[in-house]
Structure formats: C-alpha cells, structure tokens
Structure 1
Amino acid sequence: MLSEKGFPQASREAEQGHGHRAGNEHGKGSSHGPHGHDKLGHDKAGHDKSRHAQQRQGRPGHGHGPFGQAPAAPLRMEDLFASEQGEPLAHAFSKKATIHPFMNARPIAREAMAASWERIKEIPRKGKSVAYLHIPFCENHCLYCGFYQNPWRTNQSSVYADAIICELQAHRDSASHSGAPIHAVYFGGGTPTALETKDLCRIIEAVHECLPLAPDCEITIEGRIFSFSLEKAKACFAAGANRMSLGVQTFDTRLRRRMGRKVSGEEAQAFLSELLDLDQGAIIIDLIFGFPSQTEEGWAEDVAKAAALGLDGVDLYALNLLPSSPLAMSIEKGKMPPAPDQSAMGRFYQIGSEVLSRHGWQSISTSHWRRATRERNLYNLLVKSGASCLAFGAGAGGNLANISFRLNGDLQGYMESVARGEKPLGFMMQTPERFNFLNETKAQMEVGLLHVEALCERLGALRLDTAADILPLLKQWQRAGLLELADGWGRLTIAGRFWQVTMTQYLIQWVQQRLEAAAAQ
C-alpha cells in the first residue's frame, strides 16, 4: 500500500504552470510533457519536452499583448512581418516568440476537473499516442535553469517509484490507457537518472506491463552524466529502455564548471564513448549555445566533438535566459558577463548546423540532427503533431480528447492523491477541436517544410480567402529570406529554421484570428 505520508522531508512546492521537455529535445516536450518550457530554459517549440510561457506585452514582434490570451486589439498582418533589412538570422524579428499550447483554450474549473478526467479517461485514443513520465528531482541547481523544483534525497527514490507505479496501475484498464498502441514513452525531469537503479528499472518495467506499447515503441530516459553509471545504463536497457538523452550542454570544462556541471568535458566524452560501446540503443545529447563568454570557435568545437563521438543524435538549443535563473541574476548583479544578444544567436545556430552538415549528419527537425537511422526522435515529432499524451508523475503534462492537463507539481499533494486512488490533477484546459488541423502545420514547420497548398485548400474550405489572408504573409517572409516558396511548398531557409518557433506561433495565431473573423460574418 502507498502511504499518504509521501515525502516527510520534501517541502511542499507551490504549484507551477510549466509544462516537457518533450520536448523535453526541441520539444522534448517540455520536460514536463507536451507543452511549455523544458527544465533547462531552452528555446523550444511545443513540449517539449514539454513539457508557463514567458508572456510579452503587445503585438507580436512589437512588444504589446500576451501570447496565449486574446490580444488587446486584433492583429494586423503587418505586425507579423519580418524585417527585410540586414541579415535575417540576426534581425528578422525583434524577439523570439514561444508557441503557446493554450491559444483559445478554456480553463476547466478546479471543482469540475475530477468529473472531466473520469469522462476523458474512458474515451478511446485515436491516432498516434505517446506517454510522458516526470521525475521532478535534481541533484543540484544548474546556473542556467529557471525551473528547479525539488532537491534530490536518496530516501525519495523508492517512495516516488512506488507512487508513479501505483498511478500507472490505477488507470491501465481505462479506455484511454488501453487499446491503441503507444508509440513513444519519455522519462523527463528533473533528472530521471537520479533515481536508484532498481527503482528506475521498476518504473520502466511497469510501463511495459501497464501500457499498450507498440512493438517498435521508442522509450527514452533523460538524464545527466553525473548520476548515470554504465551499470545503471545497462540495467535500463535490460528493463526495456532503448534510447538515452543526456544533457551535456558543452564539453568546455571551464564553462561547465561555471554553469554548475560537476563532470568535466573530458569525463563526459569518455562516458559517452563507453555508453556507445554498449550498442544497446540510441544515444542522444543536448548542446546549448548562447552562454556568457561562449565563443563561436568554442561552440564549433563542441559540435565537432559531438559529431566525432559517433552519437546517434544531437539537439542544438539556444539558451533561453529566464529571469528566475541564477545565471540571469548573476549577470544582473555583474558577477558574470552578459550572454550574447539575440542578433548573435542566429550565427551560433548557423555554425552548429554547418558543422553537422560537414560531418554528414541529417537534420530531422529544426533543432535535432541524427547521424544514422537508429535515431528517430519520435516522441518529440509526435508531440508536435498533436498526438495524445498520457501523463504520470508530479508535474507531468498530458493531452487527451482535446483537453490539456498538468498533474499536481506539489510532491506531497501528488502523493496524497495517488494514495487515495485519484488522478492528481493540477489544472485542465479545454482546447477547441476546430483548430486540431493546425497541429499538422506545427509539425511541418518543426521539420522545416510547410505544405502551403494543402493548408490553403483546408482554409479555403473554411471560407478563408487565402490569397488575401495567408499568402501575402508567406510571401513577405520569403522576401525577408526566411522561406522559399515553390511547387505548393514552403521550405524554411537556415534563417527560417532559426526563427521557426516565432514563425509558427505567428502563423497559427493569425490563422485562428482570421477563421474566427470569417465565422463571425
């Protein structure tokens, strides 16, 4: 039996609204499921991941009106135009936007959430599906992270594993948790590899037992090298994991130490080589550009080292300097030099992309590259396409039957709900079904190739004049050097790939506004 006492030593955290990494990876889903920021503050689309977007005041690109809420005034198409002056990598837009998962969504009252859950859990899933499990502990607070929640204590391992297994078992026979196959499972955090080996393996085995996994299901364990021994990796593979995603960020030992990483760059490379020698599954790492004092030469060296290791995949992320992170506060106090400004970040992205291209790597999304076909990046790509997402663990985010939800991020509250046999819901949002087709647009933008002709046909059927409402925006982006239009498709340039998240947010927000206007006529 699971005790309602939960974690007697764990502080009760205020419930927060950040969603995966889906992303966590670019959308590793937010480290908390299919929406929100990831734990590192990466600039990510989606999960992502993941799975509390930073809100900007005003119109997009001009500093007026928060994303995810109705703007103070209707947008004009011109508000979404990119600059046609100067280098588009540096100056296309004044700021990067964040894709908000709850545009036009309606919050469900707390007192109605339990009934809503009982309804949607008995609706069979349709289409592709994924599952996200959140492990909300970190062994230390990395300097750049704005989402640190719970310090790790070894006595929490078995108790938390018991809770998340209990949650898996409680819903295994419901229509939404059985039936259609699950194609990808993501263990995000926090730091999943902080769990004791036996407990992490127990959860992996419970996933196999309780969920209808597809025979080729991608099962990812996210972690960090500091808490991930070779023996733990072997045990995870034996328990049924087949993909490891490790947050390396940089191989520069000096920079790693300044950012709170405990393992040197040389030690990280040595461990990755040993992990690759096991040849048991796909090995992926994250690299971040935009750290204070990071140079273009140092960044190119980081990416080249990753390419030479023989890894299966790599993510290249721009540092998203969140005001709540210790790094931002250190910069503000003058204890650290400022991070590169926005105009410099595109150049870092271009350098990373070119280094991987020279090594023969293939881009399979705007932030993710693979060396060979073992790497699929399936969870992240499916989340971006609007796949149903089952969610387990304190703070995890999910999506079922057009309802997005986040589980209680307060450890004690989570434990008590699970012990009572209840789904530990934190919040729920009803998303409009009429906009589901835009998930395909998001997915296409994520891989850098928009089917313009198909989108215009769909919008035309919904009474939108695409010649006046959609094509002028895309043609302006083409003039600005972000997009190449040909044969009914829009292919993102290197600058467009860097600004993809902003362009996707603007396009979807604009389409939704025009559809609402057309429906009102």
Structure 2
Amino acid sequence: MARGVYIHIPFCHQICNYCDFNKVFFKNQPVDEYIEAIGTELKLIQQQEPKAFQQIETIYLGGGTPTSLSASQISRLLELINDIIPTNNLIEFASEANPDELSVDKLQALKAGGINRLSMGVQSFDTDLLKRLGRTHSNEQVYETIENAKAVGLNNINIDLMYGLPGQTMEQWEDSLEKALSLNLPHYSAYSLIVEPKTVFYIQYAKGKLHLPSEDLEAEMYDLLMNEMERNGHHQYEISNFARDGLISTHNKVYWDNDEYIGIGAGAHGYLKGIRYSNIGPIRKYLDSIQNGNRPIFSEHEVTFDEKCEEQMFLGLRKTEGVTFESFKRKLGISMMEKYQTILTKLASDELIIVDHIGVRLSRKGRFVGNEVFQQFLLGE
C-alpha cells in the first residue's frame, strides 16, 4: 500500500545550471491544462486502484518549481488534489519553493490548500555562487519569504544548501552555513554537487571549464556540515538531512524506507504494487495520453526479489539509524545476515558500517563514502 504521493510540476521561470529534472520554461506552456490533467490522472489511478490513496501519509509537490504557478493556479491544483486524496492519515503536505517567487498571496494559497511544510531551494548565501548556479534570488528575499511564511502559519520550513560547487571555498561554505543556521529553522538539507548529463554544468565540465573543489576539500565541507548541524541541535537522520526532533521529512523517509509511493505528472516516477514506473516526460505527449483516458505510463519494471533486497540496504543505509534485522526479515522473509554476511563482514572490517544486535548502519567514516558502500549491495558486486 502506498504511503506517499509525489506530484511533478515541470515549469520554471529560470533553469538552473545543475538541474537534470524534467522541466520547461514557464512562458507559453499549457499550464492550466496541465493542472487539470493532474486531477484527471489522480482520478484514473483511483478508478484502477480504488484503495490506492487510502493510507497516504505524505503528499509532495516537486519540480520544476511548484511556486512558479500563480496563486489561483496553486489554489486550483490543491483543490483537485484534496478532492481525491483523503487527509485522515496525512502527516505532511509539502511543496518545493523558490524564495523569489513566494509572494504573500501564493503563501496564503498554499496554506489554505493544506500545505504544512515548505522546502526552499536556497543552495548558497554567496551572491557569486548563486549566479554560477543560475539562481535568481537574493539573500534578502530568503529572509523576507521565511518571515512571510511564518506570518501565514507555515512554520515547518526546510532550506536546501549545496557544497562542492565550482570555485567554492571553505570560507564561502562556512559563511553559508552560518547564515542558514542563524535562521533557526526546524530542518536543513545539504547536498554535494553532482554534475549530471544534459545540464549546463555537464557541458562546461566536458569542455574543461568547470573547476570543482578537490575531493579532500569536499570531505572537509561535509565534516563541517555534520559538526555545525549537531552543535546547533539538528540531528543528522540521513546522509544529507538534519532536523530537530520530530521534524524529519516524512516524504523522503518513504523513499529511504523503500516503501511504495504514487508518482503523478509528466516525467514523475512511482512505485506501486511491486512495480516501479515512470510517466511520459514531454508535456504535450503527457497531456495527449490523459485526454485519451489513459494513464501516461512510459515504462514499467517489476522489481525482482534480489532488487528488493538491494534497495532495502542501499536506501535504508542512507538513514543514520540504518536497516534493522527485524525490518529486513519482515519485509523480505529472509535474514539480512543470510543474504549479505560476506559483504557486511568486509564493510565492518573496513570500519564503514556498524553492526550490532539491532541492525546495520553507516559509521561516521562510512558517511563520507556512502556511494561506495551502497554499490557493494548491487547485483554482480
């Protein structure tokens, strides 16, 4: 049974240089038609799977940029969502947001439509780095937007930060962390830059024009991040996420728990009834499928038993609590040690994981090389 719903809004007023998500420039796009199609796709799933939305704990609006929509468009989108998805089990109703797009009327529309968590893409408090990233907001807009959000009753706020950026120094990272923590927010996410194909940064990197910090400097930045978050009372509950007690991201935890979720919108991904699927990406083709009364499925993959085991490990190990022996056995019907004893023994001897009577988790050393640890559980390793 699905625990979460992800709804993709692919429109942006500005395309960031590092972003590889399915997105288009807002101008001249069929935005209103797309919003109505979201409502239709929700109805199509409900018709095919009448119980699909009965246990939903979290709804997440991602993008693209959900707050690229006008206040009236936001209200209509949330109306369509609330018409289909029951709220009796809902813990979190979140939206991504850009600081320079969150006018007071949009914040009011989000709040009125049931949104109770905002995740703002701040990335850096350094003006030069923001320009390199293709971001258009200012620090003043971040501060003002947070104050306005709190004024309308939206207090559960996360901001995203990035490190390992082109030309970024330790001093710039220290300054961004200091400014971010001075906001005293309940949640922070911080990610190292990954240069993805089909992005502006990828083209620059291929031409030798993108100069990234060394691996050692990036590791120092991550070490500083963990230390400063802990010092300021934000518990690290996942490799890149930090929160005060009780204020973790429910939506992201659905992914890390390897539980099922429903993906809605152009290019969205979902995991339902043991099948991972992706929707059609091009907006016009997505709309055509919806208008023809069909779910806009582009691809489907039935997850094998071995893949389920792998996913349980490399997703679960992202959490600082790791994977318990009990949850692995309950979900997969097999002992974790029976399945992965050789791998676990080696990783433990390398001091990359900690194995105790409860389960397995990354050591602090292991957090610096998480991807290398996760790869050990993939087929063929």
- TM-score when scaled to structure 2? 0.89
Q: Which residue of 1 aligns with 2:140?
A: 266
Return closer, same or farther for 1:455/1:476 CA change in 2, 3 Å cut-off: farther
Q: Would the aligned equivalents of 2:21 and 2:63 in 1 still touch at CA under 8 Å?
A: no
Match of 2:73 in 1: 199
Number of corresponding residues? 381
Cα–Cα, structure 1 residues 501 and 184, in superposed 2: closer, same or farther, change >3 Å? farther
After superposition, where does 1:103-502 map in structure 2 within 5 Å? 126=1, 128-147=2-21, 149-153=23-27, 156-178=30-52, 180-333=54-207, 335-336=209-210, 338-373=211-246, 375-433=247-305, 436=308, 439-451=311-323, 453-454=325-326, 466=338, 470-502=340-372
Computing the radius of gyration from Cα coordinates, the structure with the larger value is 1
Partner amino acid, structure 2, of 1:139: H
How far 1:215 sits from its partner (Å)?
3.8
Given the superposition, is the C-alpha separation of residues 154 and 450 from structure 1 closer, same or farther in structure 2, using an over 3 Å criterion?
same
Whether the 8 Å contact between 1:350 and 1:494 is mirrored in structure 2 is no
Give 3-state SS (helix, strand or coil) of 1:273's partner.
helix
TM superposition shift of 1:460? 12
Structure 1 distance, partners of 2:330, 2:4, is 27
For residues 323-357 of structure 1, the C-alpha deviation after alignment (integer angstroms, 9 at most, x for no partner) is: 43212323444555x11233432221111111111
Q: Distance in 2 between matches of 1:333 and 1:378?
A: 40
Give the 3 Å change call, closer, same or farther, for CA 428–176 of structure 1 in structure 2. Answer: farther
Aligned-partner residue type, residue 415 of structure 1 = L
Kept in 1: contact 2:23–2:63 (CA 8 A): no
2-side partners of 1:150 and 1:434: how far apart? 37
Instruction: Specify the SS of the correspondent of 1:219.
Output: strand
Which is worse superposed, 209-218 or 160-169?
209-218
**Any unmatched runs of 5+ in structure 2?**
none
Structure 1 CA distance for aligned equivalents of residues 189 and 258 of structure 2: 21
User: Normalization by structure 1: what TM-score?
Assistant: 0.67
CA RMSD of aligned residues (A): 2.8
Q: Within 2, Cα distance between the matches of 1:238 and 1:461? A: 44
SS at structure 1 position matched to 2:228 = helix
- Following the alignment from structure 1 to structure 2, what is the Cα–Cα distance between the partners of residues 323 and 169? 34
- Alpha-carbon contact 1:253-1:266 (below 8 Å) kept: no
The residue type equivalent to 2:19 in the other structure is: C
Which structure has more relative contact order (CA 8 Å, sep 6+)? It is: 1
How far apart in 2 are the matches of 1:298 and 1:307?
Answer: 14
Relative distance call for 1:417 and 1:459 in structure 2 (3 A) is closer
Q: Is the Cα contact below 8 Å between 1:205 and 1:240 reproduced in 2?
A: no
Cα distance in 2 between the residues matched to 1:145 and 1:462: 39
CA shift for structure 1 position 177: 4.9
The letter of the residue matching 2:357 is D
